[in-house]
């Protein structure tokens, strides 16, 4: 049954194509029927060419409006789409087998990057709005509060500087010298008793004087 339908469609298409050629040839033959030798040959050639082109264009336009031609174009488009899908599937299988990145993988990565960029930009805009709000709040502080903050800061700074100055003073002061100690006194040696020889010598010396 399916073969009969396909054969019928093929026969109808062949018949439509045959009618196209018959109509085209008939129109081309009729384009020369009004030729008159008494008129200008150049003008007659122009008119004949116009009638010929008009007949061809009309026959082709009528053929392209027939259901057979439309069905044929629809099937051709369907086959082209099917072939494209099969080619993509085959390329995907080849990439999976070879372990390389396919076009679908690259498109997915690019799409993910675009999503990340959009989220980052949205987050930056939110942070910018938050910073602008904080700046507005800080600028609206009262002068009294600002003076208190400055006084407290200056007081803390003075304390730290004083502590640093005391530390430097301690390090710069000379170390205390130890008390001087007196040298021990020398002992006087005791005189030894004079011997007999020494006493005799002293007596002789006294007599001589």
Q: Does 182 fall in a domain?
A: no
194 inside domain: no
Whether residue 54 is found in the same domain as residue 93: yes
Lowest-confidence region among 84-98, 135-149, 155-169, 177-191? 177-191
* Residue 116: per-residue pLDDT: 93
Q: 98, 116, 142: which is the final residue of a domain?
A: 98
Phi-psi region at 99: left, alpha or beta (left = phi > 0; alpha = psi -120 to 50) = left
For 132, 153, 155, the CA distances from 120, given in Å and listed in that order, are 18, 38, 44
**48 neighbors 32 (Cβ within 8 angstroms):** yes
Note whether 89 and 59 are same-domain residues: yes
**Residue 51 and residue 78 in one domain:** yes
pTM for this model (two decimals): 0.31
Indicate the average pLDDT of the chain: 74
Structural domain boundaries, residue 85: 2-98
Domain tally for the chain? 2
pLDDT of 83 reads 87
Among 98, 126, 147, where does a domain finish? 98
In-domain check, residue 90 = yes
- Does residue 119 sit in the same domain as residue 160? yes
Predicted confidence at residue 118, as pLDDT, reads: 92
pLDDT tens digit sequence for 119-156: 999 999 988 888 888 878 777 766 666 666 677 777 88
Q: Is residue 148 part of a domain?
A: yes
Q: Based on the fold, state whether residues 150 and 84 are members of the same structural domain.
A: no
The answer as to whether 198 is a domain residue is no
Residue 61 to residues 13, 66, 121, 186: CA-CA distances in angstroms? 15, 9, 55, 149
Q: What percent of the chain has pLDDT over 90?
A: 6
pLDDT for res 68: 75
Residues 89 and 107 in one domain: no
Are 89 and 115 part of one and the same domain? no
Shared domain check, 107 and 88: no
| Average pLDDT over every residue of 107-111 | 89
**Which of 65-74, 83-92, 123-132, 149-158: highest mean pLDDT?**
123-132
């Amino acid at each position: 049954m399916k073969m009969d339908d396909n054969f019928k469609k093929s026969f109808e298409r062949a018949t439509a194509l045959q009618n196209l050629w018959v109509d085209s040839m008939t129109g081309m033959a009729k384009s020369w029927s009004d030729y008159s030798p008494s008129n200008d040959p150049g003008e007659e050639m122009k008119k004949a060419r116009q009638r010929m082109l008009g007949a061809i264009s009309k026959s082709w336009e009528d053929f392209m409006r027939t259901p057979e031609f439309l069905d044929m174009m629809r099937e051709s488009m369907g086959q082209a789409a099917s072939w494209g899908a099969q080619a993509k599937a085959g390329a995907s299988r080849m990439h999976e087998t070879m372990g390389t990145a396919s076009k679908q993988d690259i498109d997915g990565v690019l799409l993910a990057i675009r999503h990340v960029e959009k989220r980052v930009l949205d987050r930056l805009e939110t942070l910018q709005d938050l910073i602008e709000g904080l700046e507005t709040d800080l600028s609206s502080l009262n002068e009294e509060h600002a003076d208190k903050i400055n006084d407290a800061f200056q007081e803390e700074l003075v304390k730290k500087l004083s502590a640093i100055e005391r530390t430097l003073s301690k390090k710069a002061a000379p170390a205390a010298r130890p008390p001087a100690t007196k040298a021990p006194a020398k002992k006087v040696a005791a005189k030894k008793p004079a011997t007999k020889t020494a006493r005799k010598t002293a007596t002789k010396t006294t007599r001589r004087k």
